[in-house]
A and B are shown apart, each in its own frame.
Chain A
Amino acid sequence: MATTGTVYDALVAIVGKDFVSDRKEERYFYARDGGLMPPHEPDFVVLPRTREHVQEIVKLANREKVPVVPQGAGLALTGLVIPQRGGIVLDMKRMDSILEVNEKARYVIVEAGVTHGALKNHLQKHHPQLRHSIPDSPPTATIAANAVIHGQGRLSQQHGFNSDMVSGLEVVLPTGELCRIGSCSVSPYWFSKGPPLPDLSGLFLGWFGTTGIITRLGLKLYPCKKMRDVMLALTDRAELVPEIMLRLSHTELVEDVVAAAQPLPLRFRDTFWIMAYITGDTQEELEFKRKAVWDALWDLFESRDVGFLSLPPAMKGPLLSMPSKDTTRFADVSKGGGFQYAGPIAPIEKFPLFVSKLEEVATRHKLFYSSTSRLIGAGHCMMFSFSFSFNRANPDEMARAKTALDECSKFALEEGGVLWKADIDEQKLLMDKMDPNTLALMKKIRKLLDPNGIMNPGNWEIG
């Protein structure tokens, strides 16, 4: 294949021989993620180091009409980084510089490959009074990709989606131009992704890399108190969970609220575990917040519908850790290296309905399930996860898990939820249900930005 040779050489000329591969092994690995979508191999895997590299690669891809798929850690699990039409996968993780922390305006500027783990460490070491909203994905997850898929993290109860915390972007457009978005387009400061200007960040966030490649990103940082604690409220009545979440949020003193439901280990069975995270600079401040949390649920405690579990240190440690390793451990409950979740964003009132659906679907498909739901905004919505673990060595179980996920997604959509980090099938479901004028607008935007249709094709593809 002469063209392949040419593209390969051109890529080598851009990033150097060590950082391009067209070998089977890399193509195999980058053809898939840890989830359940069918694999598709790229022709090349490339590791750019600079924004100029990215520009050159995108220009090359435009000339040669080769697809380009940016990838962070590939942890979205819904196949968003699988190159559906082959082409070039750009592994962004070599662009890993933390460029600037502005302590006074509380933001950080990072390159697109910086991981959540690295930023957490950097802030703890050098700016201990600041923190960012850490998701519970493994620490290799990249900050940019997490914003691209509208992730949520430990500060989402207070400050909304992690993408709401973006404070500026630098993007390589599908046609190769480098473009700044937000306050940084007119000012040296990266404090706002839009306001007071037209907010163009919406052209890139949520688009799964189909409208451009982020090379730098500004992210808002928030005060980091000296101490953190977690309180654990239990109830056996699913219908109380939304009320509990709302009341916790009403205190305006809780950092993060997460509700868990799962049948095993046995201590979880038949009860819903609602974790309320609190912070403080002093014991007094923590104590004050603890009391506020108790007070918020006091009548439910007295009616014996809600209890608080005293947590021994051995249980508290894992709950407080960021990211939570336990979330990842779920992948090994069927001793098989796999789990995936459908995570619709939905009104919190749907919690009881979704939980019973989850149980029903899991029982019918004989799958092991769990759910963790995170409150987003002051109760504006939640991410409800329908999670199923599966054994990678058991194709039948994998097929059942996929069917179960599809069922849950459809159900959530019917119930007014909006699918999060939707895989290509779910994207179709969403687009089928979408206001046709909205869909037409999306189509225009894509056509305008990416005339050759080279950016992560197969995703947000409007017929």
Chain B
Amino acid sequence: MPLAKLQFDTTKCAACEAVSCLVGCQYMDFRDTDEAKKEWQKVIDNQDSTVLRSCTTCYACEEYCPFGNHPFYLIVERQEEKGILPAPRPIITMWINQCQPVGKFIVGKVEERALSYCFLPHLYALVKGKLFDGIAWSGIFGQEFFCNAVYLHYARASIIKDRLPMVVENIKNQGIKELVCLHDECYGTFTSLASAYGIDVPFRPVHYYEYLCDRLRELKDVIKPLNIRAAYQRNCSARLCPQTDHYVDDIFGLLGVERIKRRYDQENALCCAEVFRMAKGPAFADDVQRRNLEDMVEYGAEYCVFNCPACWDALADKASDRGIEPIHMIDLCKLAIGEEQGLRLSESGAEV
């Protein structure tokens, strides 16, 4: 099978005046549109561009482009073609090996409607109780079902192109018609990345936020409003599916949670920065994390609500140190229906 090819429409860029992709970038300073346009043209023309080296792989420009073009995927393609390493080689190698399919299909009692546990063991701790009645067991996990979007951080579009079609096939072969993605990296992959590469997705991906909303409406009677103010930690892969952001407000509304207005939410969200640490070193990552957390404090967050378990690993302790209670979105829902939190801070760090 020939490798899938990125469908990038250069004519859109030719007609684009705002160059929102680069101008919006929080990590490169392109206030000048002409400059941005010039630089972006270099990327399109496969010339060397500072963009390719400075990009932090935050995914955000995917959201910034108002024309549904795929600026970030193009950057990844170009980085790979030019052999530019956004992260150290051994880290990339580690990722490539770790998620390599090995023919180990970890499945529960899969039905037509199933959960994707991605490759994140955290999710087992989270998926419990009434919210997942009747579906918790219908799940898939592991390399064979791993969405592979992570390679966007590592200039390895080729791996995505190579593995994603197999993953889609594996899911289809489980007889799954509707896949509730517990991690929006998966959802973003099946709704954005796959189509950008012309890969057909023969099942309906459902974002777990949508699922939670539906369940919460069914459980309306048992919800006790939480009456709290929460900062939302928007993660990198949310940029692949910005159309799902309203669910955050919907869920918060159902639970009686106020999404605090703050500097670094929505389009301006700062990602957890742990990828930055591995790619660009601690000073940069620490700065991003500090700004993000201080912003939460400044705007009076009592809770920090996480979407992504990796963000949790990166920021939960640090938020807690600043007096903000970290909680995963699923746990937030559980809290409101009187169930126990599944993902907690590791007690006293490690056993010593």
A/B: CB atoms within 8 Å of each other: yes
Please report A residues at the B interface, Cβ cutoff 8 Å.
124, 227-228, 234-236, 265-272, 290-291, 294, 298, 301, 304-310, 312-314, 316-317, 319-322
Tell me which residues across on chain B come within 8 A of A124, comparing CB atoms: 352
Whether the Cβ atoms of A294 and B281 lie closer than 8 Å is yes
- B277 contacts partner chain A, Cβ-Cβ < 8 Å: yes
- B90 contacts partner chain A, Cβ-Cβ < 8 Å: yes
- In chain B between 59 and 92, which residues have their CB closer than 8 angstroms to a CB of chain A? 85, 87-91
Report B91-114 CB contacts with A as 1/0, cut-off 8 Å: 101100110101000000000000
Tell me which residues across on chain A come within 8 A of B93, comparing CB atoms: 236, 270-271
Identity of the chain A residue whose Cβ is nearest the Cβ of B102 in the assembled complex: A266
With A309-B94, A320-B350: A314-B121 Cβ-Cβ less than 8 Å = yes
Report B284-320 CB contacts with A as 1/0, cut-off 8 Å: 0000000000000000000000000010011001000
- B274 contacts partner chain A, Cβ-Cβ < 8 Å: yes
Tell me which residues across on chain B come within 8 A of A290, comparing CB atoms: 282
Q: Which secondary structure dominates where chain B touches chain A?
A: helix
Whether the Cβ atoms of A294 and B282 lie closer than 8 Å is yes
Tell me which residues across on chain B come within 8 A of A266, comparing CB atoms: 97-98, 100, 102
- How far is it, in angstroms, between the C-alpha of A234 and the C-alpha of B90 when the chains are bound? 6
Name the distance in Å between B118's Cβ and chain A's nearest Cβ: 14
Name the distance in Å between B160's Cβ and chain A's nearest Cβ: 18
Size bracket of the B interface: 20 to 34
Whether the Cβ atoms of B121 and A307 lie closer than 8 Å is no
Tell me which residues across on chain A come within 8 A of B313, comparing CB atoms: 310, 312-313
Name the distance in Å between A250's Cβ and chain B's nearest Cβ: 19
Whether the Cβ atoms of B94 and A322 lie closer than 8 Å is no
- How far is it, in angstroms, between the C-alpha of A309 and the C-alpha of B313 when the chains are bound? 13
Identity of the chain A residue whose Cβ is nearest the Cβ of B275 in the assembled complex: A310
- How far is it, in angstroms, between the C-alpha of A227 and the C-alpha of B348 when the chains are bound? 10
**Given pairs A271-B97, A307-B89, A313-B349, 9 additional interface contacts (CB within 8 A):** A234-B90, A270-B97, A301-B88, A307-B88, A310-B277, A316-B349, A316-B350, A320-B349, A320-B351
- How far is it, in angstroms, between the C-alpha of A236 and the C-alpha of B88 when the chains are bound? 10
Please report B residues at the A interface, Cβ cutoff 8 Å.
85, 87-91, 93-94, 97-98, 100, 102, 121, 274, 277-278, 281-282, 310, 313-314, 317, 346, 349-352
Whether the Cβ atoms of A305 and B91 lie closer than 8 Å is no
- How far is it, in angstroms, between the C-alpha of A269 and the C-alpha of B85 when the chains are bound? 19
Tell me which residues across on chain B come within 8 A of A294, comparing CB atoms: 281-282
With A305-B88, A307-B88, A307-B90: A320-B352 Cβ-Cβ less than 8 Å = yes
Which 3 interchain pairs have the tightest Cβ spacing?
A: A307-B88, A267-B98, A307-B91
Name the distance in Å between A383's Cβ and chain B's nearest Cβ: 23
With A235-B90, A271-B90, A271-B94: A307-B352 Cβ-Cβ less than 8 Å = no
Identity of the chain B residue whose Cβ is nearest the Cβ of A272 in the assembled complex: B90
Whether the Cβ atoms of B281 and A234 lie closer than 8 Å is no
27 pairs across A/B with beta carbons < 8 Å?
A228-B352, A235-B90, A236-B93, A265-B98, A266-B102, A267-B94, A271-B93, A272-B90, A294-B281, A301-B281, A304-B85, A304-B88, A306-B88, A308-B277, A309-B91, A310-B277, A310-B314, A312-B310, A313-B317, A313-B346, A316-B349, A317-B349, A317-B351, A320-B349, A320-B350, A320-B351, A322-B352
- How far is it, in angstroms, between the C-alpha of A319 and the C-alpha of B94 when the chains are bound? 18
Name the distance in Å between A367's Cβ and chain B's nearest Cβ: 20
- How far is it, in angstroms, between the C-alpha of A234 and the C-alpha of B351 when the chains are bound? 24
- How far is it, in angstroms, between the C-alpha of A319 and the C-alpha of B350 when the chains are bound? 9
Name the distance in Å between A287's Cβ and chain B's nearest Cβ: 9
Tell me which residues across on chain A come within 8 A of B281, comparing CB atoms: 294, 298, 301
Name the distance in Å between A295's Cβ and chain B's nearest Cβ: 10
With A294-B281, A310-B277, A312-B313: A236-B349 Cβ-Cβ less than 8 Å = no
Name the distance in Å between A301's Cβ and chain B's nearest Cβ: 6
- How far is it, in angstroms, between the C-alpha of A304 and the C-alpha of B88 when the chains are bound? 4
- How far is it, in angstroms, between the C-alpha of A167 and the C-alpha of B89 when the chains are bound? 46
- How far is it, in angstroms, between the C-alpha of A204 and the C-alpha of B203 when the chains are bound? 71
Whether the Cβ atoms of B282 and A234 lie closer than 8 Å is no
Tell me which residues across on chain B come within 8 A of A309, comparing CB atoms: 91, 94, 278
Identity of the chain A residue whose Cβ is nearest the Cβ of B313 in the assembled complex: A312
Name the distance in Å between A309's Cβ and chain B's nearest Cβ: 7
Give the one of A228, A265, A268, A312 with max B CB within 10 A: A312
Name the distance in Å between A153's Cβ and chain B's nearest Cβ: 14
Identity of the chain A residue whose Cβ is nearest the Cβ of B88 in the assembled complex: A307
Identity of the chain A residue whose Cβ is nearest the Cβ of B272 in the assembled complex: A310
Give the one of A271, A304, A314 with max B CB within 10 A: A304
Whether the Cβ atoms of A304 and B282 lie closer than 8 Å is no
Name the distance in Å between B351's Cβ and chain A's nearest Cβ: 5
Tell me which residues across on chain A come within 8 A of B278, comparing CB atoms: 307-310
